[in-house]
Structure 1
Amino acid sequence: MGPAPTSCCRALRHAGDELLTRFPIFFRRWPRVFQDVTEKTACPTLLSILDEHFFAPVPGGQRRELAWSAVLSVYVLAGQMALHCHERGMVVVLPQLKECVGAYVERVVCPEIRDGGGWSGFVSRFGEKQGLEGQVKRGCYWTLLALALSILTYFLWKRMTWPALPPSDRSH
């Protein structure tokens, strides 16, 4: 897999990896769910799972509000299905999965995202954050800079306010 072309792609990859790491139990059950999947049923099975688990209608026929975690789960689950198919030798279905997930996202997810102000909210919520070490380093740099400026200001102020000493006569 090459480098992510956009900040949104980077955020999706980072968040997906983190989700798989933090909640492995949730994703371990999918191979059992996928065990009967064939090349003909891969896309319909995936779409059915997505509708049932993430975008199920609430009473009254309305869809519930879309959470960013549900958007992320669409991509993680689609990736899990693609891995399952690849591991089972069903590589012919991979382009079909890509197309059906893309169409699903365009039809179901994108309108919600557009209504919610776009992908910038996702990037800020799930994008890779600066680690604690980086934050500490940055804080130390700024503290050191402030200290150096304070010392420099002190010496310049003292030099301007102290009168020059008369030359000493050391001949005596």
Structure 2
Amino acid sequence: MTTKLNIDHVVKEAYVMSQDYLRYVTGRTSKPAPSMATAALRHAGNDLLEKYPIFFKRWPRVFNEVCSDNACDYLFTMLDEHFQPEKPWQKKELTWSGILSIYVLAGQLAIYCQKNGMESVLEELEIRVGQYVEINVCPNIIEKGGWSGFIERYARKEEAEHTIIRGCCGVLLLLGAMSLTYYLYRR
């Protein structure tokens, strides 16, 4: 059974992620991520931009019709079209990557608005993206048990090379300590 506390936490995190990510991508914050979910979102967004830069170069053309009066509505029209089920009676299953795409697309719109002199839209965009996620996504996130799956999927993973190096250093340290112990014991 889902408690009110869990629902409140999921919703609050949706707003924190919206505000933090949009400020992060537009360079309006240099603070560390305020939560594990926001850190995972930052990492996943950066990872997408690195792996698929050509995909993100097309957004300025897509947003060409956006002005400060319609920026938020334009974004939500795009998101609604994408997340509508194929049949009206079906429920569209939201994946973690789908949820990530909401924030990344909002981030691309925020960047576009900032570059085109529409900074006044950014604060409203932060709030309205949080509201959109609360209404359209949070019920699915609550069913999934909260943001932990998102964090698990998108949090920065330690590279295997670092794990191996750390393991080797640990073994060398242990061998060194054993050698020193043996040397002192024999004296």
Give the corresponding residue for 2:42: 13
- SS of 2:32 mapped into structure 1: coil
Give the corresponding residue for 2:70: 41
Task: Please list the CA deviations of residues 49-107 of structure 1 after superposition, one character each: whole Å capped at 9, or x if unmatched.
Answer: 11222x12132532321111111111111011011011110111111211211110100
1:135 and 2:182 equivalent? no
* C-alpha RMSD of matched pairs (Å): 2.1
TM-score normalized by the length of structure 1: 0.81
Number of residue pairs matched by the alignment? 156
**1:41 & 1:61 partners in 2: Cα distance?**
30
- Give the Å deviation of 1:132: 3.3
**2:102 & 2:94 partners in 1: Cα distance?**
12
Higher relative contact order (CA 8 A, sep 6+): 2
TM-score normalized by the length of structure 2: 0.75
- SS of 2:65 mapped into structure 1: coil
Give the corresponding residue for 1:122: 150
Match of 2:127 among 64, 75, 99: 99
Unaligned runs of 5+ in 1: 160-172
Task: Please list the CA deviations of residues 16-62 of structure 1 after superposition, one character each: whole Å capped at 9, or x if unmatched.
Answer: 11011111222222111101111111011100111222x12132532
1:108 and 2:136 equivalent? yes
**2:59 & 2:134 partners in 1: Cα distance?**
24
Percent of aligned pairs sharing the same letter:
50
**1:89 & 1:145 partners in 2: Cα distance?**
57
| Structure showing greater Rg | 1
1:52 and 2:81 equivalent? yes
Unaligned runs of 5+ in 2: 1-28
Give the corresponding residue for 2:90: 62
- SS of 1:35 mapped into structure 2: helix
1:78 and 2:114 equivalent? no
- SS of 1:129 mapped into structure 2: coil
- Give the Å deviation of 1:131: 2.2
